[in-house]
Structure 1
Amino acid sequence: MEKAQQLEILKQLIAIPSVNDHEADVADYLVTLFAPYRDQVTIERVTYAPGRDNLVITVGQGNKTLGLAGHMDVVAPGDLAQWDTDPFKATLKDGRLYGRGACDMKSGLAAIVVALLEMLEHQTLPGRLRLLATVGEETGEYGAAQLTEAGYADHLDGLVIAEPSADLSEVGYTAKGVIDYILTAKGKGAHASRPQLGINALDHVLEFANQAKARLAALDQTDPVLGPLTHVISVIEGGEQINSVPAQATLKGNIRTIPAHPNQQVYDILDGLVAELNQRPGYNLNLTYSFPEEPMPGNADAPLLRLIDQVHQEVFATPLTPVGQSGASDGSEFLHAKGDFSIALIGPGGSTSHASNEYVELAVYYQAIEFYQRLAQKFFD
């Protein structure tokens, strides 16, 4: 495939405004690319919601399976005045391709797709490869969760996710988990001059906040790569006006967990705290969680990671650095699949994820295509 064709595939993907939705349009386009090879591929669409289809494409044969994953959604472009170009019209400038998703992560998805197409075209498929193209990664990894529950990632022999990784100079192999929680409190309104007639809901969420911070701070184990568990209270809302006792209040927080202190340990602490406080007179607290993700353990010396380092040395002049990641990815869901396999996150794209004027270095995009092909060949060797 000529570079012009490789580039066109990425440009077409960026032109599809799959902002937290419309991933089925991306899937439609990808299916057309594999249509000439229908007798050699298995194409499955797994619908999450109308207009939101995950896509699973399996090529090649053999007893081993290498998974290659990427998400099809992007975040909103934000303030268009901050963009120098149309975010959904890929624009070339000074060796870079600009557009929403150019970095995170349509360049990674495109590089995997092109690598598979080229192996099909040249009949050089080394074994069984499975593309897992997901919906909803940016808002909760629920496409990856759906595919995992349906068994599409079961018993893989390795999984590579094409998340941007400092232009493929880093490989992520472990990651923190995420817990977003929402605490609501119901009290009783009263005039501020007669507070004894009311129940201050805001006082109750502040009591929870103080105790939660102290109890989670007691989880003092630190991961050598990821660092400690962190807890940020990010939103507090309550009350109607300055001279009234707040009858209701809300507190929101974000926790980043580590393998030594997994999510369940945090749930037990916070749920237990709510149960204790609700035994007090007047307390009426309710705690919910949104899109929690488990921490992703990993081993920098795993065979897949060693192989990635070996292939990286062949393609790139700079060394590869194994890293941990503080943000969640589809890997946090795929790790629940059956079987024992390593997950690695490595793909084109630098530091412009979610930013205005998002871009990918074209040279790195082309190198990523070569990298994924070589990795597939050596994985089965």
Structure 2
Amino acid sequence: MTPQQKIEILQTLIHIKSVNAHETDVADYLASLFAPYPQAQIEKVPFAPGRDNLVVTIGNPAGPQLGLSGHMDVVAAGDETAWTHPPFGGEIVDGRLFGRGASDMKSGLAAIVITMLEFLEQGTPLAGSLRLLATVGEETGEYGAATLTDAGYADHLAGLIIAEPSGLDQVVYTARGVIDYKVVSTGVASHSAQPENGVNAIDNLMEFYNAVGPLMAKYTKTDPVLGGLLHNVDLISGGEQVNSIPAHAELMANMRTIPAYPNQIIYDELEALIDRLNQEPGVQLELSYSYPEEAIPGDPQAPLVQLAKQISDDVCQHETQIVGSGGANDGAEFLRAKADFTSIEIGPGSDTSHQVDEYIELDDYLQAIAFYETLVPAFFAQIGQSSKRQ
């Protein structure tokens, strides 16, 4: 495949407006690229109408299986008039390809797809199988990865590479988890001149607000890479008008967890607080969660981590750092699978993810393909050597 053909695949992906939905359009396009190869096993796995995950498996089924993963959704472009380059145009200027998802993460997705296509095109013998796990809904909750994990598509992985835009000079081996939660307070409306006839939902919600901060602050352990537990109440709303006692109020909070505190510890604390406050007269609070993700502990000395660093050093001619990430990724879901494997994050990107005029350097994009094409056979060789030693 020529460099121009590789660039055109990425441009086509940018043209597809998979903004928090419509991932099936991406899945169909990627599936069409594999369709000429009968040895490629292609499966679409639905999450919702218009939202199909894509799984493509190639190589030797008798050997170990390596997963290559990327998400097909992108965040909204926002005010498109603020863009110098159309967000879904895929324009190339001065060696940069612009568009929503150019960095996060259609360049990484295209790179792993092209890696597999080139192995097929060239008839490259593989000592194991490669499995593409192209997911929906990563930007809003990793529910595509959850769907694939629950369906068993990660149960036989020996390793997983997620092509998120870490930059090729960083191997991410550990990541924070996420807990987004909502508390809804239900009261009784009345005229503000007669508050005794009502129950103020805002007052009751503020009881939770004033208690939850100190409760979370007692978790003082810090991770040497990720830092400490983070808790922020980011949205509060309530009431109908200024002269009425409010019957409804709610807040939403975002937490970034660390491996030292599994999410269940936090759930238990929040639920116990809600239960205690609900014992008070007139208090009616309800707690719910939105797609929580566990932190990824990881091991910087894991063979796949060290191998990815070595390959990146050699292919990209730079010093690759082994780091952690403050953001969650699909690996948190895939690691729930039955298999015991290492998940890493490494892929092309720029510091413009989710921003106006998001872009990828084409040199970085093409270099990522060379990196993955070198890493895959090296991974299978590493597994083979390990098996012989055992």
Q: Residue in 2 aligned with 1:66?
A: 66
Q: Residue in 1 aligned with 2:316?
A: 316
Q: Residue in 2 aligned with 1:9?
A: 9
Note the 1:264-303 alignment, pairs <5 A: 264-303=264-303
Note the 1:181-200 alignment, pairs <5 A: 181-200=181-200
Give 1:256 deviation, angstroms.
Answer: 1.0
CA distance in structure 2 between the aligned counterparts of 1:227 and 1:248, rounded to whole angstroms: 36
Give 1:45 deviation, angstroms.
Answer: 0.9
Give 1:241 deviation, angstroms.
Answer: 2.5
Give 1:162 deviation, angstroms.
Answer: 0.2
CA contact (8 A) 1:137 1:330 kept: yes
CA distance in structure 1 between the aligned counterparts of 2:112 and 2:44, rounded to whole angstroms: 18
Note the 1:30-69 alignment, pairs <5 A: 30-38=30-38, 40-61=39-60, 62-69=62-69
Give 1:293 deviation, angstroms.
Answer: 1.0
Q: Secondary structure at the match of 2:283?
A: coil
Give 1:194 deviation, angstroms.
Answer: 3.5
2:155 pairs with 1:154: yes
Give 1:339 deviation, angstroms.
Answer: 1.5
Give 1:317 deviation, angstroms.
Answer: 2.1
- What CA RMSD, in Å, does the superposition of the two structures yield over aligned residues? 1.1
CA distance in structure 2 between the aligned counterparts of 1:222 and 1:238, rounded to whole angstroms: 35
CA distance in structure 2 between the aligned counterparts of 1:305 and 1:59, rounded to whole angstroms: 23
CA contact (8 A) 1:155 1:341 kept: no
CA distance in structure 1 between the aligned counterparts of 2:92 and 2:193, rounded to whole angstroms: 65
Q: Secondary structure at the match of 1:157?
A: strand
Q: Percent identity?
A: 57
Give 1:197 deviation, angstroms.
Answer: 3.1
CA contact (8 A) 1:67 1:156 kept: yes
CA distance in structure 1 between the aligned counterparts of 2:137 and 2:246, rounded to whole angstroms: 36
2:14 pairs with 1:19: no
CA contact (8 A) 1:175 1:295 kept: yes
CA distance in structure 1 between the aligned counterparts of 2:165 and 2:7, rounded to whole angstroms: 17
Give 1:53 deviation, angstroms.
Answer: 1.0
Note the 1:1-381 alignment, pairs <5 A: 1-38=1-38, 40-61=39-60, 62-126=62-126, 127-165=128-166, 167-381=167-381
For each residue in 1:139-191, what CA deviation from the matched residue of structure 2 results, as whole angstroms up to 9, or x when unmatched? 111110000000101131100000001x3111111111111111111112233
CA distance in structure 2 between the aligned counterparts of 1:45 and 1:299, rounded to whole angstroms: 33
Give 1:322 deviation, angstroms.
Answer: 1.4
Matched residue type, 1:262: P
Q: Which structure 1 residue ranges, 5 or more long, are not aligned?
A: none
CA distance in structure 2 between the aligned counterparts of 1:70 and 1:239, rounded to whole angstroms: 42
Q: Secondary structure at the match of 1:250?
A: strand
State the TM-score, normalized to the length of structure 2.
Answer: 0.95
Give 1:192 deviation, angstroms.
Answer: 3.0
CA distance in structure 2 between the aligned counterparts of 1:291 and 1:146, rounded to whole angstroms: 12
CA distance in structure 1 between the aligned counterparts of 2:22 and 2:238, rounded to whole angstroms: 36
Q: Secondary structure at the match of 1:219?
A: coil
State the TM-score, normalized to the length of structure 1.
Answer: 0.97
CA distance in structure 2 between the aligned counterparts of 1:352 and 1:188, rounded to whole angstroms: 47
CA distance in structure 2 between the aligned counterparts of 1:170 and 1:3, rounded to whole angstroms: 24
CA distance in structure 1 between the aligned counterparts of 2:190 and 2:30, rounded to whole angstroms: 60
CA contact (8 A) 1:20 1:136 kept: yes
CA contact (8 A) 1:69 1:159 kept: yes
CA contact (8 A) 1:137 1:144 kept: yes
Matched residue type, 1:43: I
Give 1:103 deviation, angstroms.
Answer: 0.5
Q: Secondary structure at the match of 1:255?
A: strand
CA distance in structure 2 between the aligned counterparts of 1:284 and 1:322, rounded to whole angstroms: 47
Q: Secondary structure at the match of 2:322?
A: strand
CA distance in structure 2 between the aligned counterparts of 1:24 and 1:192, rounded to whole angstroms: 52
The count of corresponding residues between Structure 1 and Structure 2 is 379
Q: Secondary structure at the match of 2:57?
A: strand
Give 1:120 deviation, angstroms.
Answer: 1.2
Q: Secondary structure at the match of 2:36?
A: helix
Moved more, 141-150 or 48-57: 48-57
Give 1:195 deviation, angstroms.
Answer: 2.8
CA distance in structure 2 between the aligned counterparts of 1:304 and 1:372, rounded to whole angstroms: 13
Moved more, 185-194 or 58-67: 185-194
Moved more, 140-149 or 320-329: 320-329
Q: Secondary structure at the match of 1:233?
A: strand
Q: Secondary structure at the match of 1:146?
A: helix
CA distance in structure 1 between the aligned counterparts of 2:17 and 2:369, rounded to whole angstroms: 23
Q: Post-superposition, which runs of at least 4 consecutive aligned residues in structure 1 deviate over 4 A?
A: none
Matched residue type, 2:277: L
Q: Secondary structure at the match of 1:270?
A: helix
Q: Secondary structure at the match of 1:225?
A: coil
CA contact (8 A) 1:6 1:114 kept: yes
Give 1:231 deviation, angstroms.
Answer: 0.5
Q: Secondary structure at the match of 1:329?
A: coil
Give 1:201 deviation, angstroms.
Answer: 1.1
Moved more, 370-379 or 27-36: 27-36
Give 1:242 deviation, angstroms.
Answer: 2.6
